[in-house]
């Protein structure tokens, strides 16, 4: 049985909820396709978030890892293409730490690219009427920190596909931010299910054809 590891974050800033965990926490268990989906919550804390994530990878040995985070102000489900080796926080994290122009990994490469089939996932989401796009920046806060650290840790494990997805506010959050876009939790849940199925299907197709379908 394949194991899929999904992560969401605890609330941060002035928010009382984080849509990533609100949705991810609904997805755990064994699917009809006999994949086991393990869901964990990450602290919105530099360093500690990666420690929790990498411990979960060591424990569950997943074949697919998708980290999910809140991107208030975005209008769709955003598949992140790239993470850069920089922590540059506009606000302190949940432990009060605010790194400025610090590397995620000392002497690490400038960037890591997602190993998810991001365009195939975007296409699958759009085909189901769910707004989605490829994003060229995961920011420089804890989301980028987690994405970079995740991909760096799996750099020598190409058999494990991994990446990051940003999602908009939930409606109850957007109500407190006039003019901000939102997406219903059920729609995001459906979108993440599609992302998982697409990533696993593309991985299977690549093994059969020996090529790439990204």
For the segment 84-109, what is each residue's pLDDT rounded down to a tens digit? 999 999 999 999 999 999 999 999 99
Average pLDDT over residues 49-76: 97
What confidence score (pLDDT) does residue 214 get? 46
Compute the mean pLDDT over every residue in the chain, rounded to the nearest whole number: 94
Question: Is 152 assigned a catalytic role?
Answer: no
The percentage of residues in the chain with a pLDDT greater than 90, rounded to a whole number, is: 90
Q: Three-state SS for 6? A: strand
Catalytic residue among 166, 177, 186, 193: 166
What confidence score (pLDDT) does residue 213 get? 43
What confidence score (pLDDT) does residue 207 get? 59
Question: Is 143 assigned a catalytic role?
Answer: yes
Catalytic residue among 44, 80, 145, 203: 80
Sign of the C-alpha dihedral computed for residues 132, 136, 140 and 146 taken in this order: positive
Residue 144 to residues 71, 72, 116, 156, 163, Cα–Cα distance (Å): 11, 15, 16, 20, 10
Cα 35 to Cα 203: distance, rounded to the nearest angstrom: 14
Average pLDDT over residues 7-11: 98
What confidence score (pLDDT) does residue 111 get? 98
Residue 15 has pLDDT above 60, yes or no: yes
Sign of the C-alpha dihedral computed for residues 174, 99, 54 and 52 taken in this order: negative
Residue 208 has pLDDT above 90, yes or no: no
Q: Which residues of 164-192 are buried (b: 16+ CB within 10 A; e: fewer)?
A: bbbbbbbeebbeeeeebebbebebbebbb
Residue 211 has pLDDT above 70, yes or no: no
Q: Which tokens hold the place of 177?
A: 């931010």
Contact in structure between 41 and 7 (CB atoms under 8 Å): yes
Average pLDDT over residues 6-26: 97
What confidence score (pLDDT) does residue 34 get? 75
What confidence score (pLDDT) does residue 100 get? 98
Catalytic residue among 22, 39, 44, 143: 143
The pLDDT tens digits for 151-181 are 999 999 999 999 999 999 999 999 999 999 9
């Amino acid at each position: 049985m394949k194991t899929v590891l999904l992560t969401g974050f605890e609330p941060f800033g002035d928010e009382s909820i984080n849509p990533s965990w609100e949705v991810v926490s609904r997805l755990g268990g064994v699917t009809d396709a006999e994949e086991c989906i393990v869901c964990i919550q990450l602290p919105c804390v530099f360093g500690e978030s990666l420690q929790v994530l990498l411990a979960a990878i060591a424990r569950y040995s997943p074949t697919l890892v998708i980290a999910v985070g809140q991107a208030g102000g975005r209008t769709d489900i955003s598949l992140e293409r790239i993470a850069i080796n920089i922590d540059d926080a506009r606000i302190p994290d949940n432990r009060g730490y605010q790194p400025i122009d610090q590397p995620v990994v000392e002497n690490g490469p400038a960037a890591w690219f997602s190993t998810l089939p991001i365009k195939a996932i975007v296409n699958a989401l759009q085909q189901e009427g769910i707004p989605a796009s490829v994003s060229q920046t995961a920011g420089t806060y804890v989301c980028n920190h987690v994405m970079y650290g995740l991909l760096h840790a799996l750099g020598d494990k190409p058999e494990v596909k991994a990446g990051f997805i940003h999602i908009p506010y939930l409606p109850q959050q957007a109500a407190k931010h006039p003019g901000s876009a939102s997406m219903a939790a059920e729609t995001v849940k459906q979108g993440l299910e599609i992302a998982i199925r697409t990533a696993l299907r593309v991985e299977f197709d690549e093994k059969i054809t020996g090529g790439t379908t990204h």
